[in-house]
Each structure stands twice: as structure tokens, then as C-alpha cells.
Chain A
């Protein structure tokens, strides 16, 4: 039951991250999606992968996207 709720939440967050026009908010929603994926990995009994997913995708990928948005434009046309 919890797995289905997390899968649905991840799908909703992915659609929100695509549809947002402000790219900084989109990157933050994408970090939330990565945390949901880490929780799904933890439920499926792979805590090692969950730890790496939470550290890399929610920490470093967000930083790289923020640097890229700072060098280019913030709002999608």
C-alpha cells in the first residue's frame, strides 16, 4: 500500500517538475522526486542504493542544476 502511494506521489512530482515555468522551483521538485525514489528503494530492501540515491541525486545533481541555471536563464519561455 505504501509502495503504491509513493509511486503515485513520484509520478505527480515528475509531472509538476515538467510543467513548472520557474526552473529553480522545478529543480527543487526534482530533488523531492529523488527523495521519493530513495524511499521506494528503501522499501524494496536496497538501503545501500537508497543512501547513494539520496546523497548524489538530491545533493549533487541539484547543485549542478542550480549552477547551470545561474549561468543561463531562469525562466522557461
Chain B
């Protein structure tokens, strides 16, 4: 791509990531949730892949690292929220206030785990397609 697209991508990329995590953290108060936040973060990486060529950018995340990240997200979802959250539920719910950001029980953690799952799956799909498409 040309210079304007590259500079705008450099400026706007962290704000898209920030907006995705805002949607994930406010998933129990405002519209949105885990899937929408993961799709927004994944489309930010799609913009990065479209704007820059493969020889311009050195990817810090490889495909094997993304598969590891996806399995770690599943571990995070199942074990920590399921087991430890069940034993800590009284302490957690009593410390929360109604209509605040820290409310809604385990919904925020479930949204964060879903965000990690969806965004890592979409980034894995994008990087695999990119390696396949520009391999000539």
C-alpha cells in the first residue's frame, strides 16, 4: 500500500485495540461482549496485514505461538473461572457495587476469556491466509 495508508494505520492501530478492550470490559453494561470485542481486535490485525507487506513488518506472533495462546485462553476460561471462581464467589460478589464497572459477577471474566479465544482464532486465520496468499 502507499504512504498514507501506512501512516494512518500506524496512528489508528492502538486505538482500535483499545476500543476492543473497552467493549470487552464493559460487556455487561453496554452493548457488545466477548465476540464483538474479539472481532474488533481481529479486524485491527487484518488492517495491519493489508497495509504492510510481509517484508516490511516482522511478526512477533507466529502461528505456533497463536495456537499456544488459544490453548492458554481455554485453560484460563475453564480452570480459573470454573474452579477458583466458584470457591471465591461470596467474596467477589460482596465486593461489587451495582451499576458500576466492577459488577455483574463473573460476566466480565467470561467476556475477557471469550475475547482472547475469538481474537486469537481470528488472528490465527488471518496469518495463515496471509502466508498462503503472498507465497509466490
- Which A residues contact B (CB, under 8 angstroms)? 47-48, 50-52, 55-56, 59-60, 63-64, 66-67, 70-71
Chain A CB within 8 A of B25 CB: no
Instruction: Verify B133–A70 contact, CB threshold 8 A.
Output: yes
Q: C-beta contact mask, B89-102 vs A, less than 8 Å → 1, else 0?
A: 00000000000000
Separation in Å of the B130 CB from the closest CB of chain A? 8
Q: List residues of chain A with CB within 8 A of the CB of B126.
A: 63
Known: A51-B32, A55-B39, A59-B43. 20 other contacts (CB 8 A): A47-B31, A48-B33, A48-B36, A51-B23, A51-B31, A52-B35, A55-B36, A55-B43, A59-B39, A59-B40, A59-B42, A59-B46, A59-B47, A60-B122, A63-B43, A63-B126, A64-B129, A67-B130, A67-B133, A70-B133
Q: List residues of chain A with CB within 8 A of the CB of B32.
A: 48, 51
Instruction: Verify B39–A63 contact, CB threshold 8 A.
Output: no
- Rank and list the top 10 A-B pairs by shortest CB-CB distance, nearest first: A59-B43, A55-B39, A47-B31, A63-B46, A48-B31, A51-B36, A55-B40, A52-B36, A67-B133, A56-B39
Separation in Å of the B119 CB from the closest CB of chain A? 11
Separation in Å of the A62 CB from the closest CB of chain B? 8
Q: List residues of chain A with CB within 8 A of the CB of B122.
A: 60
Of B32, B43, B49, most A-chain CB atoms within 10 Å: B43
The residue in chain A whose Cβ has the minimal distance to the Cβ of B30 is A47
A48 vs B126: C-alpha distance when bound (angstroms): 24
Separation in Å of the B57 CB from the closest CB of chain A? 16
Instruction: Verify B36–A66 contact, CB threshold 8 A.
Output: no
The residue in chain A whose Cβ has the minimal distance to the Cβ of B23 is A51
Separation in Å of the B70 CB from the closest CB of chain A? 17
Separation in Å of the B13 CB from the closest CB of chain A? 13
The residue in chain A whose Cβ has the minimal distance to the Cβ of B39 is A55
Q: List residues of chain B with CB within 8 A of the CB of A63.
A: 43, 46, 49-50, 126
